[in-house]
Amino acid sequence: MRVKVDVDVDAPSLRWEDVHGPARGVAYELIGSQDAALGRVLHDEGWGGSPLKPVGLTSPQFKGAPRKAGVYTTSRDGAIWFGSPVPRIASVLIAALAARQELQWGEATLRIRGINIDVPPPVAGGEVELVTATPVVIKHESRYLLPEDRLFLDRLQHNLDRKADLLELPAPQDLQVMDSGPRRRFTVRGAPRIGAVVRLRMTADARFVEAIRSWGLGLDTVQGFGWIR
């Protein structure tokens, strides 16, 4: 399930370290505020006997933000999406967000203007195309991979196989990168995260597509990466 949270902020821009940096802490704090045990289990152990954390969200996204080189500008028309393919986690997120009037996102205070369940159009399964709103993070050993790198699809397939296995769903096949954006680098807790937004084609079960839309592609989805539009 996906939830869209409409926000506004008075600050004209976010610090670059506050674009993705606060996401993980915000997600766990929200979950823990409604279900402390669930928050601890997810943070410390993962889910269902796997270290994977089936939680996704975006960095704050601002419509109509003025373009300014080297600056992550904002507007009064912002949104953050949260989601999880696990009903228990999703319901806790919704309850936590419904109880809030604002989110502290690093140094910025985001005022909540509204919360809506985001229902994507139904998918029949088969060949589907997915576009991400935030960069997809993929690594091989210690190196970040970009969509044009030789091992990118292999490591993304491995990531999706693990997610499908956790959710007990058929894994997607025939992954193809149709298009990608420029290399993006963010600092998260003092360490780099490098990736790019992608337009991806795959053959997948409709249930898996619905699940992954509430989780995201690649690594660090709880840090706001790999969210699907």
At 7, which CATH number? 3.30.70.1890
Task: Identify whether residues 90 and 160 lie together within a single domain.
Answer: no
Does 166 fall in a domain? yes
> Residue-wise pLDDT tens for the chain (229 aa)?
999 999 999 899 999 999 999 999 999 999 999 999 999 999 999 999 999 999 999 999 999 999 899 999 999 999 999 999 999 999 999 999 999 999 999 999 999 999 999 887 787 789 999 999 999 999 999 999 999 999 999 999 999 999 999 999 999 999 999 999 999 999 898 899 999 999 999 999 999 999 999 999 999 999 999 999 9
- Residues 147-151: contacts with CB under 8 Å, at least 24 apart: 147/177, 147/180, 147/196, 147/198, 148/177, 148/180
**Cross-strand pairs, 223:** none
Report d(CA 153, CA 171) in Å as an integer. Answer: 14
**Within a domain: 149:** yes
| Same domain? 10 vs 111 | yes
Residues 105 and 186 in one domain: no
Same domain, 130 and 114: no
Q: Are residues 59 and 12 in the same domain?
A: yes
> Residue holding tokens 């997915």?
130
Query: Which of 96, 118, 140 delimits the end of a domain?
Result: 118
Q: Confirm whether 146 is domain-assigned.
A: yes
**Is the same domain home to 171 and 104?**
no
Q: Are residues 62 and 95 in the same domain?
A: yes
Which amino acid, one-letter code, is at 174? D
Domain stops at, among 83, 118, 153: 118
Q: Are residues 107 and 161 located together in one domain of the fold?
A: no
Range of the domain at 192: 126-223
**Closest listed residue to residue 23, CA positions, set 189, 151, 145, 139:** 189
Shared domain check, 9 and 98: yes
- The residues, ordered by sequence, that sit 6+ positions from 134 with a Cβ below 8 Å of its Cβ are 20, 58, 59, 197, 224, 225, 226, 227
Instruction: Provide the strand spans (E) within 15-135.
Output: 56-57, 61-62, 72-73, 78-83, 102-105, 108-118, 126-131
Q: What pLDDT sits at residue 152?
A: 98
Which residue stretches of the chain are H helix? 23-34, 36-44, 87-98, 152-167, 206-213
DSSP state of 93: H
Domains contained in the chain, number: 2
Residue 228 lies in a domain: no
- Give a yes or no: residue 98 inside a domain: yes
CB crowding 49-71: b at 16 or more within 10 Å, else e:
eeebbbbbbbbbbbeebeeeeee
User: Do 114 and 133 share a domain, yes or no?
Assistant: no
Residue 85 sits in the same domain as residue 171? no
Closest alpha carbon to 85 in 165, 22, 156, 24: 165
Give Cα 142 to chain centroid, integer Å: 21
Listed residues 118, 136, 171: the one ending a domain: 118
Instruction: Answer whether 138's CB lies under 8 Å from 195's CB.
Output: yes
